[in-house]
Amino acid sequence: MELERLTRLYHALSQINQAVVTMPTRGDLFTRVCQVLVEHGGFRMAWVGWHDAATRRILPVAQWGDEQGYVQRITIFGDDRPEGRGPSGTAFRERRPYICNDMQTDPSTMPWRAAAISQGFRASAVLPITLAGTVEGTLSVYASAVGFFQDKEVALLTQAAADLSFGLDNLAREEARQRAAAAASSERAFSEAMLDSMPGILYLYDEGGRFIRWNRNFLAVSGYTAEEMAHRHPLDFFSAADRALLQGRITEVFERGESFVEASFVSKDGRETPYFFTGRRVEVAGSRCLVGMGIDISERKQAEAALRASEERYRTTLDNILESCQLIGFDWRYLYLNDAAAVQNRRSNHDLLGRTMLEAWPGIEQSDVFALLRVGMEERRPVHGEIAFQFPNGESGWFDVRCQPAPEGIFVLSIDITDRKRAEQRLRELNESLEGTVTRRTEELRVALVRAESADRAKSAFLATMSHELRTPLNSIIGFTGIVLQGLAGPLTTEQVTQLGMVRGSARHLLDLINDVLDISKIEAGQMEVRTERFDLRASFDRVLASVAPLAAKKALALTMDLSPAVTEMVGDRRRVEQIALNLLSNAIKFTDHGRVVLAATVTEKPEAGGGRRQTLTFTVSDSGIGIIADDIGTLFQPFRQLDIGLSRQRDGTGLGLAICRRLARLMGGDIAAESTLGQGSVFTVTLPLEPDAS
* Pairing label, strands 596-607, 558-563: parallel
Question: Which of the residue ranges 314-328, 427-441, 447-461 would you say has the lowest mean pLDDT?
Answer: 447-461
User: Of 114, 135, 144, nearest to 45 (Cα)?
Assistant: 144
Is residue 641 over pLDDT 70?
A: no
Q: Which CATH number fits domain 198-296: 3.40.190.10, 3.30.450.20, 1.10.15.40, 3.30.300.10?
A: 3.30.450.20
Tens digit of pLDDT for each residue in 415-427?
888 888 888 888 8
Is residue 113 over pLDDT 50?
A: yes
Neighbour-count burial of 78, counting CB atoms closer than 10 A to its CB (0-12 exposed, 13-18 middle, 19+ buried)? buried
Tens digit of pLDDT for each residue in 336-356?
888 888 888 888 888 888 899
Question: Which of the residue ranges 58-67, 403-412, 592-601, 643-652 would you say has the lowest mean pLDDT?
Answer: 643-652
Task: Write down the domain spans for the chain.
Answer: 2-175, 198-296, 302-421, 463-524, 533-689
Q: Which residue has the higher pLDDT, 539 or 304?
A: 539
User: What pLDDT score was predicted for residue 649?
Assistant: 45
Average pLDDT over residues 119-137: 93
What CATH number has the domain spanning 302-421?
Answer: 3.30.450.20
User: What pLDDT score was predicted for residue 259?
Assistant: 94
Q: Which residue has the higher pLDDT, 462 or 292?
A: 292
User: What pLDDT score was predicted for residue 450?
Assistant: 75
Neighbour-count burial of 584, counting CB atoms closer than 10 A to its CB (0-12 exposed, 13-18 middle, 19+ buried)? buried
Backbone angles phi, psi at 297, to 5 degrees: -110, 25
Angle (CA) 443 444 445, round 5°:
90
User: Of 73, 157, 82, 96, nearest to 123 (Cα)?
Assistant: 157
Is residue 647 over pLDDT 50?
A: no
Q: Is the distance from CB of 99 to CB of 156 less than 8 angstroms?
A: no
Q: Which residue has the higher pLDDT, 177 or 99?
A: 99
User: What pLDDT score was predicted for residue 45?
Assistant: 94
Is residue 515 over pLDDT 70?
A: no
Is residue 517 over pLDDT 80?
A: no
Average pLDDT over residues 93-114: 93
The pLDDT mean for the chain works out to 85
Question: Which of the residue ranges 177-186, 189-198, 240-249 would you say has the lowest mean pLDDT?
Answer: 189-198
Question: Which of the residue ranges 9-23, 483-497, 513-527 would you say has the lowest mean pLDDT?
Answer: 513-527
What CATH class does 2-175 carry?
Answer: alpha beta
Q: pLDDT-derived band of residue 454, with 50, 70 and 90 as boundaries?
A: low
How much of the chain, in percent, has pLDDT values that exceed 70?
86
* Ranges of H-type helices in 486-573: 494-524, 537-554
d(Cα 158, Cα 13) in Å, to the nearest integer? Answer: 10
Q: Does 198-296 match 302-421 in CATH topology?
A: yes
d(Cα 269, Cα 625) in Å, to the nearest integer? Answer: 81
Is residue 455 over pLDDT 70?
A: no
Q: pLDDT-derived band of residue 2, with 50, 70 and 90 as boundaries?
A: low
DSSP structure class, residue 105: T
Average pLDDT over residues 641-666: 67
Q: Which residue has the higher pLDDT, 365 or 610?
A: 365
Is residue 648 over pLDDT 50?
A: no
Q: Which residue has the higher pLDDT, 73 or 438?
A: 73
Average pLDDT over residues 659-665: 88
d(Cα 234, Cα 367) in Å, to the nearest integer? Answer: 63
User: What pLDDT score was predicted for residue 344?
Assistant: 83
Q: Quick one: how far is CA 338 from the chain centroid?
A: 53
Q: How many H-runs (helices) and E-runs (strands) does the chain carry? A: 20, 22
User: What pLDDT score was predicted for residue 463?
Assistant: 56
User: What pLDDT score was predicted for residue 443?
Assistant: 81
Tens digit of pLDDT for each residue in 393-404?
778 888 889 999
What CATH number has the domain spanning 533-689?
Answer: 3.30.565.10
User: What pLDDT score was predicted for residue 631?
Assistant: 79
Q: Quick one: how far is CA 336 from the chain centroid?
A: 50
To the question of pTM greater than 0.85 for the whole model, the response is: no
Is residue 229 over pLDDT 70?
A: yes
d(Cα 154, Cα 156) in Å, to the nearest integer? Answer: 5
User: What pLDDT score was predicted for residue 250?
Assistant: 95
Neighbour-count burial of 320, counting CB atoms closer than 10 A to its CB (0-12 exposed, 13-18 middle, 19+ buried)? exposed
Tens digit of pLDDT for each residue in 146-173?
998 988 888 888 998 998 899 899 888 8
